[in-house]
C-alpha cells in the first residue's frame, strides 16, 4: 500500500472517531439537561414542602373510655303465623322461624357489643323489652291465625328471652345487664286497652316477673338488674340522660305525610312538660326509625297481611341497638337484621 493510500485510510478512521465522539457528546449533553431539569423540579418541590407541610395524623386517646349499649327487643309476636303464599313470598313466620330469628338476634347483639368494645369500654348493657312479645287474642282474627293460646305463647317468649339473657351474661364481658321492660298492647287480657292497672292486665307482666324471679338468688343476680314496669312509661337515667321507655302505642297516627315522626314529636313535646326525657325508646310500629331524641324498634315477625292492608312501609324483620356516650349522648345506632 502506498503512502497516499495509508494517509487516506487514516483520515477516514479519524473522521469516524470524530463522528462517534460528537454523537456521544450530544447524548451526554441531553442527559445532563434532563438531570438539571429533574434537579430543578426537586428543588422547587422541596421549597414548596417547606411552606405547605403534610398534616401528620395520630391516634387520639379517648378522655372517657366508657359507654353503655342499649339493646331493643319488641314486637316478636311469637304466636303469629304469616303465610308465605299470602305474602307473595315477601315473608314467612311461625314458631320455628321465631326461634331461629331470636337466636340470630342474640348472636348478632353480642357481636355488636364486642365491636363497640374495641373503641370504648362497655361496662353496662341495657336490654329494653318493649312489649308485644305475643299477639294474644285481642281480636277474633288473631284467635283464628294463632296455633298457640296466650299462655302457651307466653311460655314460648319466656324460653326465648331466658335463653338469650343467659347467653349474653355467659359470653359477654360487660359488668352489668339492666333489663328494663314495658308492656305492649297485644298482651292485654282485656278486649280494649285500660289505662287503670295497665301493667297487671297484661300477660307480659307475668313474663317479666317470671324472668326476674328466675334470676333471683343466683350467681347471675349480681350482674343483672330488673327495672319492671309500673305504668305506661318506664324510666332509666344513664350518665344524667333520662331515657323514657314505652311500647309506643300511646302515639296516635292514622297515616299522612311525614309518617309517625310528626305525631311523635308532638307527643314528646307534651310528655316533656311533665318530665323531660333526652331519648324516647319504643317499639309498636314495626319500623326502625332513629332521630336525635328517639329510637323506634323494628319487629321480629316482619311484614304481614295486616301491614299490606293498611299500606304500611315494607320492612325486613329487624331489631335495634345503639350506643350511649357519657359526653355525646346517643351516638352509633345499628340495625340487627334477623333474616
Residues 133 and 259 grouped into a single domain: yes
Domain with 107 in it: what CATH number?
3.60.21.10
Q: How confident is the model over 188-243, as pLDDT tens digits?
A: 999 899 999 999 999 999 999 999 999 998 999 999 999 999 999 999 999 999 99
Mean pLDDT of 173-189: 97
Residues 133 and 24 grouped into a single domain: no
Q: Residue 316 pLDDT > 90, yes or no? A: yes
Residues 237 and 312 grouped into a single domain: yes
- pLDDT value of position 225: 97
- pLDDT value of position 304: 94
Residues 6+ apart with CB under 8 A from 86: 305
Q: Which of 57, 81, 104 is the last residue of a domain?
A: 57
- pLDDT value of position 18: 72
Residues 43 and 77 grouped into a single domain: no
* Domain tally, the chain: 2
Mean pLDDT of 263-269: 95
Residues 23 and 94 grouped into a single domain: no
Q: Which of 33, 57, 81 is the last residue of a domain?
A: 57
Residues 173 and 279 grouped into a single domain: yes
Q: How confident is the model over 78-94, as pLDDT tens digits?
A: 999 999 999 999 999 99
Q: Is the dihedral of CA 95, 101, 104, 110 positive or negative?
A: negative
Residues 12 and 113 grouped into a single domain: no
Residues 311, 253 contacting (CB under 8 angstroms): no
Q: Which of 32, 57, 82 is the last residue of a domain?
A: 57
Q: Residue 288 pLDDT > 80, yes or no? A: yes
Please list the residues that pair with 124 across neighbouring strands: 68, 176
Q: How confident is the model over 132-145, as pLDDT tens digits?
A: 999 999 988 888 88
pTM of the full predicted structure? 0.83
Residues 75 and 2 grouped into a single domain: no
Domain span at residue 45? 1-57
Q: Is the dihedral of CA 254, 257, 260, 262 positive or negative?
A: negative
Amino acid at each position: 500500500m502506498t503512502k497516499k493510500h495509508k494517509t487516506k485510510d487514516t483520515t477516514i478512521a479519524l473522521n469516524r472517531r470524530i463522528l462517534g465522539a460528537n454523537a456521544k457528546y450530544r447524548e451526554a449533553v441531553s442527559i445532563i439537561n434532563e438531570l438539571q431539569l429533574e434537579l430543578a423540579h426537586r428543588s422547587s418541590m422541596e421549597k414548596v414542602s417547606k411552606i405547605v407541610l403534610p398534616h401528620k395524623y395520630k391516634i387520639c386517646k379517648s378522655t372517657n373510655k366508657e359507654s353503655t349499649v342499649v339493646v331493643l327487643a319488641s314486637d316478636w309476636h311469637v304466636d303469629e303465623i304469616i303465610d308465605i303464599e299470602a305474602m307473595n313470598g315477601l315473608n314467612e313466620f311461625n314458631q320455628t322461624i321465631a326461634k331461629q330469628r331470636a337466636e340470630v338476634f342474640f348472636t348478632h347483639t353480642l357481636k355488636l357489643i364486642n365491636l363497640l368494645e374495641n373503641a370504648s369500654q362497655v361496662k353496662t348493657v341495657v336490654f329494653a323489652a318493649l312489649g308485644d312479645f305475643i299477639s294474644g287474642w285481642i281480636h277474633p282474627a288473631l284467635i283464628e291465625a294463632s296455633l298457640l293460646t296466650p299462655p302457651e305463647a307466653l311460655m314460648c317468649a319466656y324460653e326465648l328471652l331466658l335463653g338469650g339473657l343467659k347467653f349474653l351474661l355467659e359470653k359477654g364481658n360487660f359488668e352489668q345487664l339492666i333489663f328494663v321492660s314495658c308492656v305492649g298492647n297485644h298482651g292485654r287480657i282485656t278486649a280494649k286497652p285500660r289505662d287503670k292497672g295497665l301493667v297487671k292486665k297484661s300477660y307480659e307482666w307475668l313474663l317479666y316477673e317470671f324472668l326476674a324471679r328466675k334470676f333471683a338468688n343466683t350467681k347471675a343476680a349480681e350482674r343483672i338488674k330488673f327495672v319492671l314496669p309500673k305504668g305506661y312509661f318506664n324510666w332509666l337515667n344513664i350518665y344524667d340522660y333520662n331515657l323514657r321507655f314505652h311500647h309506643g302505642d300511646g302515639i296516635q297516627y292514622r297515616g299522612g305525610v311525614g309518617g309517625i315522626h310528626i305525631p311523635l314529636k308532638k307527643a314528646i313535646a307534651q310528655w316533656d312538660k311533665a318530665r323531660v326525657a333526652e331519648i324516647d325508646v319504643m317499639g309498636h310500629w314495626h319500623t326502625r326509625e332513629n332521630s336525635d331524641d328517639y329510637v323506634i324498634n323494628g319487629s321480629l315477625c316482619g311484614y304481614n297481611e295486616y301491614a299490606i292492608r293498611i299500606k304500611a312501609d315494607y320492612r325486613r324483620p329487624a331489631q335495634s341497638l345503639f350506643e350511649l356516650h357519657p359526653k355525646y349522648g346517643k351516638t352509633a345506632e345499628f340495625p340487627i337484621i334477623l333474616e
